[in-house]
Chains A and B, each alone.
Chain A
Amino acid sequence: MQIIKQLKINFMEKRQIAMILSSVLVLLSITSFFVRGFNLGLDFTGGYLLEVEYPQQAKLDNIRKDLKDNGYKRASVQYFGTNNNTLIRLAPQKDKKGATISDDIMTILKEKDDKVTIRRVEFVGPQVGEDLREQGGLAIIYALGFILLYITIRFEKRFSVGAVLAILHDVIITLGIFSIFGVGFDLTVLAAILAVIGYSLNDTIVVFDRIRENFKITSKSVIDVLNLSINQTLSRTIITSLTTMLVLLALFLLGGAVIHGFALALIIGIVVGTYSSIFIASTSILAMGLKREDLMSKKPKETLES
């Protein structure tokens, strides 16, 4: 069976349109970082979260009032998953003994309805959240650094810059969508962003590998080699994205509310990553003035045998 016939799309011809589209999306995302910021979850901001379950539909207004009467004025109360489950969130409280607040809230809720049960409690101190933001940022920077190094060794420096540009493009736009739509950003989303880096890279490397191979076997111009390589790998790129997407959709729809953000970030990242491996990565190495000789001078490293 063959969904994608052998194609001869001139991707390089459309590179200007792609560049404009990408630039607009990246600029929009970065603007949103500063204007709208992120709807950062508890993991990063510190604070309290309680998920409680009632045997019947929870009465949010009553819960809000009870909490307010007991001094928790700015609690956010909402349904979570079903109407029986309620999510209560609180910013870090000043002048109160940190970890005991969740017990205090449970006592308040139990007074009104003793059938309420705890599903989940999370408390993160403000310092812990700050450390995590730093760690997350550092993790991305280090990951990019090591990847740059590896690609420079295996390919050429222009390839590594191209790959990193594609990664930054994907990460910025994925973050941008989280920022623009105010989707909750927690620790699992950070993990997903890092997985997006890995995935986007995977896609880009497959195309790069083909470019390197084609330089060795044809004597076409750089533009033609890039076009040929992208076309040759296109069916693989699309099929892999499709299978990964199937799994992610299952995770998004059936994995439960806790894993929602994670699945969403990956779904966005994979769409953007597939696009960038076709349009951005190769376009950037062309823009940086790659010539045949840059790759030919390097001894091809055919290692290991399958």
Chain B
Amino acid sequence: MQNQYPLWKYILIVVVLIAGAIYALPNLYGDDPAVQISPRHALADNAIKEKVENGLKEVMLKPKLVSLEQGKVLVRFDNQKQQLDAQKKLTKLMGDGFIIALNLAPATPDWLKSLNALPMYLGLDLRGGVHFLLQVDMKSAISQSLGRYVGDFKTFLRSKKIRYRSVLIQNESIEILLSKKVNPDEALEYLQQEYSELKFAVRQQNKTNAIFANLTPVTIKSEQKSAIEQNIITLKNRVNELGVAEPIVQRQGSDNIVVQLPGVQDTAKAKQILGATATLEFRLTHGSYTDWSAASDSGRVPVNARLFKQRSGDPVLLKRQVIVTGDQIKNAAAGFDGESGTPAVFVDLDGKGAKRMQKITAANLKKQMSVVFIENRTTTKYVGDKPIKTTKKVSEVINIATIQDVLSHRFQITGLDVMEARDLALLLRAGALKAPVEIVEERTVGPSLGQDNINQGIMSVQIGMALVFIFMLVYYRLFGLFANIALVTNIALIVALLSLIQATLTLPGIAGIVLTVGMAVDANVLIFERIKEELRNGMSHQAAIKSGYEKAFTTIADANITTLIAAVVLFSFGTGPIKGFAITLSLGIITSMFTAIMGTRAIANLVYGGKNIKKISI
């Protein structure tokens, strides 16, 4: 009997079809506008869920569903108006300890969720939002780590009773000028023992002995890696503070970080917060007002002090010693000073910081303490066509106050305006960036364009497919119908696979699907033309079907494998949009092999197989 498939092949096809249908299904349910509530420092629990539910009742809002998902309370609504209304009211209701974000929650039914069947993730070009590519300033990361060694060296040399004239950073290495009587080899040995991660060398510098320390390539690499990782953590914190649902923060290449914020419209604010490197330092003031202006005028600064500028532009001398730095801040909140009513930032210190603050303020009661606001500003200037990046550290004294009491865990800072206080509190909570970043790429898609892209994408797929369907039916008749069934199955399988691997569907991705539709037909055209040819050569109907499928197979395999090679190369070289295209194209090629060859053969076998036929409809 010719043209009959063994049972297992039918079973395989049916199983793939069912699995494909289940995993493609969630995409038909669409999204609910939702508000997502998550506590800043913990996971949400049932108590918080109840609080949200009661709160919503109070303000007369009727949500579609309130659920607890992955440590967040998700409130779904019927329309966007309710959603926006709820966001406003919940922000007021829940207070500062919660992040309230807008979200589009997939309306996937529970039975599908329990099978891990989720809809595809729509790319920013389809749902709207911002995409940033941030470049991490690696040079600055390296010079910062050199800066740490300068202080360490001084302490270490003093502890070993080795006298030095100066320790300075010179062109990516540290130069230690030793005093005349010191034996350089002995100093070198001590240093090498203590700092095995560095490379040391002794050289004569203006008749004095100098030791040069360099970071080894391995150390440089690990410093760069930790700079990127630390920055990613900080950026994630900041993005969370911005109240964005489902943000993406990830590394790209050696020194870039991708940040994607779906649904964000206020890009100016987002840029400011992401790129900001602001932090705080607390220092004691040095001398009196007359000393400050004298130092500023003469340029002579006392040994243990540094000259700073206040907001007003007036000079001020501060002690070199830093009491507490920004990274010892555990929490910060913006608010208003209880007495004066001016904007203030309330700061919580960690244990170590609090102990230090207590010790120093206790010893310096009635003296003055300053808050220094430090910001790294990166600017790109062009020399000819070459971009030159410079990072400038801008330090500003925002507040000078007399220490009235012994401070420890909790205190407040004033001297900022409302916006500054809010931003500073946010930045202090999120932590500082280890190395400055610069935005080198931005793509923002407004919500109206996103919807247009979806509509146009779907419409062109529908029309394109309809045209192909009609052509195939007219040209190949019953076999054309087989091919059309295979084509629909093919698209369902691509969608199912994309959903299963939770790939991101972008506009170029849709283009990839459209192209696969065109190319999937090719396999069937090859087979059908071959069957026609064999019929013309006088073969029997059954033999022609068999021979058509068999002879076309090597051709289809060769042709598809070469296209797959091109798609894989595209995937490995491309970024963003090209990757999306390559994924759908590769998946489409693989699924089309299954549907166009095995699928149509199965139907043809069911219809014609093992029968004595006089005529086939092709």
Q: Which residues 435-472 of B sit at the A interface, judged by CB distance below 8 A?
A: 438-446, 448-449, 452-453, 456-457, 459-461, 463-465, 467-468, 471-472
Interface residues of B in 500-542 (CB under 8 A from A): 507-508, 511, 514-515, 517-519, 521-522, 525-526, 529, 532-533, 536
Q: Which of A43-97 contact B (CB under 8 A)?
A: 51, 53, 94-95, 97
Please tell me which one of the listed residues A117, A147, A266 contacts residue B515 in the complex, with CB atoms under 8 A apart: A266
A187→B559 contact, CB < 8 A: no
Is the CB–CB distance between B379 and A255 below 8 Å?
no
- Asked if residues A232 and B553 are in contact (CB atoms below 8 Å), the reply is no
Interface residues of B in 541-564 (CB under 8 A from A): 549-555, 557-563
Q: Is A99 within 8 A of B439, CB to CB?
A: yes
> B533 to chain A: which residues have CB within 8 Å?
232
Which 9 A-B pairs have CB atoms at the shortest separation, nearest pair first?
A244-B518, A125-B440, A250-B464, A247-B464, A99-B439, A121-B444, A139-B573, A256-B456, A198-B563
Q: Given known contacts A239-B529, A246-B467, is B558 in contact with A146 (CB within 8 Å)?
A: no
A254 in contact (CB, < 8 A) = yes
Q: In the complex, A146→B569 CA distance in Å?
A: 9
In the complex formed, the residue of A with least CB distance to B474 is A1
A3 at interface by CB-CB < 8 Å: yes
Q: How far is the CA of A98 from the CA of B561 in the complex (A)?
A: 43
Which residues of B sit under 8 angstroms from A297, Cβ to Cβ?
none
Given A143-B566, A232-B533, A247-B517: A255 and B557 interface contact (C-beta under 8 Å): no
Question: Interface readout for A97-139 with B: 1 if CB under 8 Å, 0 if not?
Answer: 1111011000000000000011111111111100010011011
- A295 to B: closest C-beta gap in Å: 14
Q: Is the CB of A117 within 8 A of B448?
A: yes
Can you list 18 contacts pairing A with B, beta carbon distance less than 8 Å? A2-B532, A6-B536, A53-B448, A99-B439, A103-B271, A118-B446, A135-B573, A150-B561, A150-B562, A195-B581, A198-B567, A199-B519, A243-B521, A250-B467, A254-B456, A254-B460, A256-B456, A305-B550
Chain A residues, CB < 8 A from B268:
100, 103
Residues of B within 8 A of A51 (CB): 449
How many angstroms from the CA of A97 to the CA of B390 in the assembled complex? 12
Q: How far is the CA of A53 from the CA of B448 in the complex (A)?
A: 9
Does A32 make an interface contact (CB < 8 A)?
A: no
- The answer for the CA separation of A142 and B571 in the assembled complex, in Å, is 12
Instruction: Tell me which of A95, A138, A249 contacts B382 (CB under 8 A).
Output: A95
Bound form: Cα–Cα A103–B474 in Å: 54
Contact of A198 among B463, B477, B562 (CB under 8 A): B562
Complex contacts, A239 vs chain B, CB 8 Å: 475, 525, 529
User: When the two chains form their complex, are residues B449 and A306 in contact, meaning their CB atoms are under 8 A apart?
Assistant: no
B387, B438, B518 interface centre (most CB from chain A within 10 Å): B518
Shortest distance in angstroms between B332's beta carbon and chain A's nearest beta carbon?
Answer: 26
Residue in chain A with minimal CB distance to B552: A306
Known pairs A202-B519, A255-B460 / 10 extra A-B pairs, C-beta < 8 Å:
A98-B440, A123-B439, A138-B573, A150-B562, A195-B566, A209-B555, A246-B467, A247-B465, A247-B514, A305-B550
Determine whether the beta carbon of A125 is less than 8 Å from that of B573. Answer: no
Residue picked from B464, B508, B582, B598, most chain A C-beta under 10 Å: B464
In this assembly, does A157 line the interface, its C-beta being within 8 Å of a C-beta of chain B?
A: no
Q: Are A3 and B468 in contact (CB under 8 A)?
A: no
Knowing A6-B536, A139-B569, A199-B519 are in contact, say whether A206-B555 is a contact too (CB < 8 A).
yes
Known: A120-B445, A120-B449, A244-B519. A255 touches B440 (CB 8 A): no
| Bound form: Cα–Cα A195–B580 in Å | 13
In the complex, are the beta carbons of B555 and A191 less than 8 A apart?
no
- Distance, CA A221 to CA B533, complexed state (A): 22
Whether the pair B581, A191 counts as a contact (CB closer than 8 A) is yes
Q: Chain A: interface residue count, which band?
A: 35 or more
Give Cα A95–Cα B387 distance, bound, in whole angstroms: 10
From the candidates A3, A100, A201, A306, name the one contacting B563 in the complex (CB within 8 A): A201
Question: Closest chain B residue to A244 by CB distance?
Answer: B518
Number of A-B pairs, beta carbon distance below 8 Å: 251
Contact A251 B511 (CB under 8 A): yes
For the complex, give the distance between the alpha carbons of A251 and B464 in Å.
7
Separation in Å of the A119 CB from the closest CB of chain B? 4
Note all chain A residues with C-beta closer than 8 A to B574.
135, 139, 191
Query: Is B601 an interface residue, CB under 8 A from the partner?
Result: yes
**Pair B441/A128 contact, Cβ less than 8 Å:** yes
A190 contacts the other chain (CB 8 A): yes
Q: Is the interface of B mostly helix, strand, loop or mixed?
A: helix
The smallest beta-carbon distance between A85 and chain B, in angstroms, is 9
Question: Nearest A residue to B573 by beta-carbon distance?
Answer: A139
CB < 8 Å neighbour of A240 from B443, B453, B525: B525
A232 to B265, CA, bound (A): 57
- Would you call A39 an interface residue if the criterion is a C-beta within 8 Å of the partner chain's C-beta atoms? no
Q: Are B459 and A188 in contact (CB under 8 A)?
A: no
Query: Nearest-CB distance from A189 to chain B (Å)?
Result: 11
**From residue A58, how far is it (CB to closest CB) to chain B in Å?**
15
Q: Which of B382, B445, B536, B560 contacts A119 (CB under 8 A)? A: B445
B321 at the interface (CB under 8 A from A): no
* Interface residues, chain A, with chain B CB atoms under 8 Å away: 1-3, 6, 51, 53, 94-95, 97-100, 102-103, 117-128, 132, 135-136, 138-139, 142-143, 146-147, 150-151, 154, 187-188, 190-191, 194-195, 197-199, 201-202, 205-206, 209-210, 213, 232-233, 235-236, 239-240, 242-251, 253-256, 258-259, 262-263, 266, 302-306
Q: How far is the CA of A33 from the CA of B574 in the complex (A)?
A: 24
B442 is contacted by which of A94, A119, A121, A127 (Cβ under 8 Å)? Answer: A121
Cβ A195 vs Cβ B522 within 8 A = no
Residues A306 and B440 in contact, CB atoms below 8 Å apart = no
B565 within 8 A of A: yes
Contact check, B562 vs A151: say whether CB atoms are below 8 A apart. Answer: yes
Cα separation A263 to B574 with both chains bound (whole Å): 19
Report which of B125, B265, B442, B517 forms a contact with A123, defined as CB distance below 8 A. B442
How many angstroms from the CA of A87 to the CA of B514 in the assembled complex?
A: 27
Which of the listed residues A194, A262, A304 has the most CB atoms from chain B within 10 Å of its own CB? A194
Q: Note all chain B residues with C-beta closer than 8 A to A119.
A: 445-446, 448-449
In the complex, B424 has a CB within 8 A of chain A: no
Measured in the bound complex, the distance between the Cα atoms of B357 and A47 in whole Å is 48
Residues of A within 8 A of B578 (CB): 187, 190-191, 194
Let me know if B433 is at the binding interface, CB within 8 A: no
Q: Does chain A have a CB within 8 A of B324?
A: no
Q: Which of B471, B561, B565, B585 contacts A143 (CB 8 A)?
A: B565
Closest-by-CB residue of A relative to B566 is A198
Report the minimum CB–CB distance from A95 to chain B (whole Å). 6
- The answer to whether A305 and B559 have CB atoms under 8 Å apart is no
Chain B nearest CB from A134 CB (Å) reads: 10
B597 lies within 8 A of chain A by Cβ: yes
A1 and B133 contacting across the interface, CB-CB below 8 Å: no
Interface residue B267 (Cβ < 8 Å from any Cβ of A): yes
Which residues of chain A have C-beta atoms less than 8 A from B13's C-beta? none
Which chain A residue shows the least CB distance to B455?
A256
Q: Give the residues in chain B near A245, CB-CB below 8 Å.
A: 518
CB distance A117 to B475 under 8 Å?
Answer: no
| Complex interface: chain B residues within 8 A of A244 (CB) | 515, 518-519, 521-522
Please, how many angstroms separate the alpha-carbon atoms of A94 and B441 in the complex?
Answer: 16
Complexed CA–CA distance, A95 and B445 (Å): 26
- Which residues of chain A are near B464, meaning CB under 8 Å? 246-251
Chain B: minimal CB distance from A164 (Å): 11
Which one of B442, B511, B518, B567 contacts A99 once the chains associate, using CB atoms below 8 Å?
B442
Chain B residues near A305 (CB, 8 Å)?
A: 550, 553
Contact with B566, one of A125, A147, A188 (Cβ below 8 angstroms): A147
With a cutoff of 8 Å between Cβ atoms, the chain A residues found around residue B393 in the complex are none
The answer to whether the Cβ of B570 comes within 8 Å of any Cβ in the partner chain is: yes
What chain B residues lie within 8 Å of A151 (beta carbons)? 562
Q: Which chain A residues border B598 with CB–CB below 8 Å?
A: 306
Whole-angstrom distance from the CB of B525 to the nearest CB of chain A?
5
Considering the chains assembled together, what is the distance between the CA atoms of A139 and B575 in angstroms?
11
Distance (whole angstroms) from the CB of B87 to the closest CB of chain A: 20
Alpha-carbon distance A51/B570, docked complex (angstroms): 28
In the complex, what's the smallest C-beta–C-beta distance from A227 to chain B, in angstroms? Answer: 16
B311 at the A interface (CB under 8 A)? no
